[in-house]
A = this chain, B = another copy of it.
């Protein structure tokens, strides 16, 4: 559907984690990342050194380009839009899951868009770009087409996702990823207290995730909550008194699991077991 990638002149605004992963990937995909802006000269220079041909800049009087990609925190997007001097009619996209396309409405001199990479970016971890879902949104068909081309040059998983859907995706990602990480952290901390290696949980964690990706997760729920094992639930809650916040999470998630599914038919020999 989308043809051979066209080389685009791209300016990156921001030099943080997203830009650090996106800049080199755009270059490898054949684009010309001409300038990298950061308010911190050292950051702009450090990233520009990783992207052949890129010039670090700290001025927001920006040169002409086909596409400007904002890689700044959500809270800084409006400030950068208000301050930057884009050439008239510039195509400017943000990379935030949570921000609406309408964030550009106050800046009619630019064409707004969204290029949201659905991944968690960490310093020092490499990213397998072809597998990362890229969610694209634009106000016009022409801009949409240009963004789809750029996205398809990076990834094989490109979706047109309107603002409300993207925001739902973002909330879902908070549950499935940010919150999951916190639960894994609680598990890690509890094992540390018991002087046991976290690695003991690794096969169980991997199987849990494989199973949840292969079946609707609510249908494969296991553990004392879903089997209404009151004795175990009470013992676990008692064991968590030293961690009131985790005890609250335990109660809340247990209640949510029990509210989600009807109790399974009682059968002493087919228990869903941890």
Over the window 1-39 of chain A, the binary record of Cβ atoms lying under 8 Å from chain B Cβ atoms (1 yes, 0 no) is 000000000000011111100000000000000000011
Please, how many residues of chain A have a CB less than 8 angstroms from a CB on the other chain? 113
A59 contacts B by Cβ under 8 Å: no
A102 contacts B by Cβ under 8 Å: no
What's the Cα separation between A189 and B176 when bound, in Å?
Answer: 11
A182 touches B73 (CB 8 A): no
Q: Within the complex, which residue of B172, B189, B204 is in contact with A191, where a contact is CB–CB below 8 Å?
A: B172
Which residue of chain B has the shortest Cβ distance to A37 in the bound complex? B269
* Majority secondary structure of chain A interface residues (helix, strand, loop or mixed): helix
Report A219-236 residues with CB < 8 Å from chain B CB.
220-227, 229, 231-232, 235-236
A18 touches B273 (CB 8 A): yes
**Which residues on the B side are within 8 Å of A179 (C-beta)?**
183, 223, 249-250, 253, 257
Over the window 103-119 of chain A, the binary record of Cβ atoms lying under 8 Å from chain B Cβ atoms (1 yes, 0 no) is 00000000000000011
Shortest CB distance A75–B (Å): 7
Number of this chain's copies in the complex = 2
Binding stretch for chain B, among A60-68, A81-89, A128-136, A144-152: A128-136
A196 contacts B by Cβ under 8 Å: yes
What's the Cα separation between A207 and B131 when bound, in Å?
Answer: 11
A49 contacts B by Cβ under 8 Å: no
What's the Cα separation between A106 and B97 when bound, in Å?
Answer: 58
**Which residues on the B side are within 8 Å of A204 (C-beta)?**
118-120, 173, 176-177
Q: Within the complex, which residue of B39, B194, B201, B273 is in contact with A121, where a contact is CB–CB below 8 Å?
A: B273
What's the Cα separation between A203 and B200 when bound, in Å?
Answer: 24
What's the Cα separation between A240 and B222 when bound, in Å?
Answer: 25
- 23 of the cross-chain contacts (CB-CB < 8 Å) are A16-B271, A39-B269, A98-B235, A120-B204, A120-B207, A122-B220, A167-B235, A168-B196, A169-B194, A172-B187, A172-B191, A172-B201, A175-B184, A175-B186, A175-B250, A176-B204, A177-B223, A178-B257, A179-B249, A182-B256, A182-B260, A185-B212, A209-B209
Across the A-B interface, the 7 shortest Cβ-Cβ residue pairs: A178-B223, A176-B187, A185-B217, A168-B194, A172-B190, A172-B187, A185-B218
